[in-house]
Structure 1
Amino acid sequence: MAEDSAVNQRLTNLTFALLGSPRPRDYDWVGSHVEGYEGRTGPTLARQLSRDILTVRRAGVPARMENGLVWVDKDAYELPAIELTDAEATVLGLAGDLGSQGSLGAFARSGWTKLAASGATRTFDSPSLDALDNDVVRLDAQTVKNVTACVRGNRRMVFDYLPAPLAEPQRRVMDPWGIVAVRGRAYVVGWDVERGAERAFRATRISNVRASREPDFTPPTRPLRQVVDDVVRGPVVDAVVSIPPGRGAELEARGTRDGASITFEGVERDWLVRTCVGLAPDVEGIEPADVRADVIALLEKGAEDDR
């Protein structure tokens, strides 16, 4: 009984450590920072992690282990929507302020007391957030503060953007208009200066936000929700992925399974490529060929970055 309790505690610690991490972690980090892995190093640590990742995946947590790194696919780890009244959201925000410099506290400090109400929007002296879902609990407080400061002042901003868990951060320049939550994800919406077009960046992948000294600023011309709906979806594709039954729950959620094949119609191409990369050891085939080539290219890039 005591041994089972220790195992459950270790698995819980690992899950929350990865959920709370802004990026993938290497094995040594887990051994040094997650309670339950003390004293394990090298191959011993890797074997234990391999068994634990498999266990938490069976429990429904989309954990990943690849190229010396471990992480949780937060995009696939959806939580049910939470509905709060104005008073309840304000109390939670105050609790965040009193307890720590966390995400909910950041929203309260930024003027967002209406965090949720199934799509309702309320604007105060700062940008509005029109729904509360799982991204809100992962947003970095300093990032929220800096973005909203630029929005209030109509200031161009420079920031680092992480396009994928294993990718290098990219420097981007934007005229920010606000933060919009759509289907559980929070997006920073604005004018992409370098591309000369509207753009929506996933807020949880933005860091190191700072105001630019350039005086130019492009204002919005339509509701921000429309911008997100048009920009975020991106190219779509019809595809078939072969993966054994019992594997690839993320794929099954958006496709139709027939034996070892999952068929997709009009699915987001980028999402499909990234998900197949995360499931690479289990994937047995991908059609069409150009999607398969993108998956292989992303895998090769990850391998090169780890050398």
Structure 2
Amino acid sequence: MAIAKAERLMNLALCLLGTRRPLSKRELRASIEAYVEGAGGGTPANDESFNRMFERDKDDLRELGLVIETVDNLDGETGYLARRDSNRLPPVSLDAEEAAALGLAAKVWQQARLAGAANGALQKLRAAGMPVAEDAYEGQSALEPRIPAREAAFEPLMLACRDRRPVVFDYRKANAAHPESRHVEPWTLECWRGHWYLAGWDRERRAERVFRLSRITGRVRSRSAAFTAEIPDHVTVRETVESWAGENATSRARIRIRAGAGYPLRARACSTRAAGEGWDELEVPYGHGLGAWLAEFGPDVVVLAPAELRADVLERLRAVAKG
């Protein structure tokens, strides 16, 4: 939001909150400098431009949560005010368990802007006298919650999802030697098995797509255009990724994996046995997308069966090697 508009909205909110009686458009126009000068400043706003500006500002304040009342027949004019009792939040009251849960949740975010927001929220609760204890569960468990957000693409995509702004980025698929440009309307971000994924509408492919953030190369560029596709009520990010990784598989694949490597694969293995010479043999669920996942482990994984999976992984590795 431009500084000039933010200042104008703040002044309008203060006028509406500070008055004891409804104020007409005429009175608000005379009280707020930006309405006198116009949106750009320096040029007085005519009646038409003022009315458009005022209606937009009023709608924006209501969208931000300000309760603005409209009073008719005020000397023939419509009046506006924002009563303080209608715009005051109830006192925050937390019991010990709720306060401890908030303290624990605030420790989850350690990267990006969310870490600052979480810490700021705790400070405000403490200032209000809430017993928020970050160490409420200290000593009870050796585990501490963390959601990593190390990818450079995370923050710009998080903001683009929030602001509903299309983005452009270069994306390299697992079996591709070079990245391709993607034009996406971002819907939501979700973390699954330690990796972040973006779900959105791919404009060029005219279909819903899911992108793994670690495969985004270069800078994420945002665009000011509006979304062209409707955002679904429920975006199945996790279900889509699970199907790629073979989570819903009904058959099994046999792979050989280097000792000390591939812990995510070992965690999903149906059976494991030592194969000798520094290798182990695993049986893992086999479904769509398993080949792309296995290719990411490079020389640490060798597919034994089935033959079509082995061919798929070899094709992907050759494509990367050619690049």
After TM superposition, the score normalised by the length of structure 1 is: 0.50
* Length-normalised TM-score, structure 2: 0.47
Higher Cα Rg: structure 1 or 2? 2
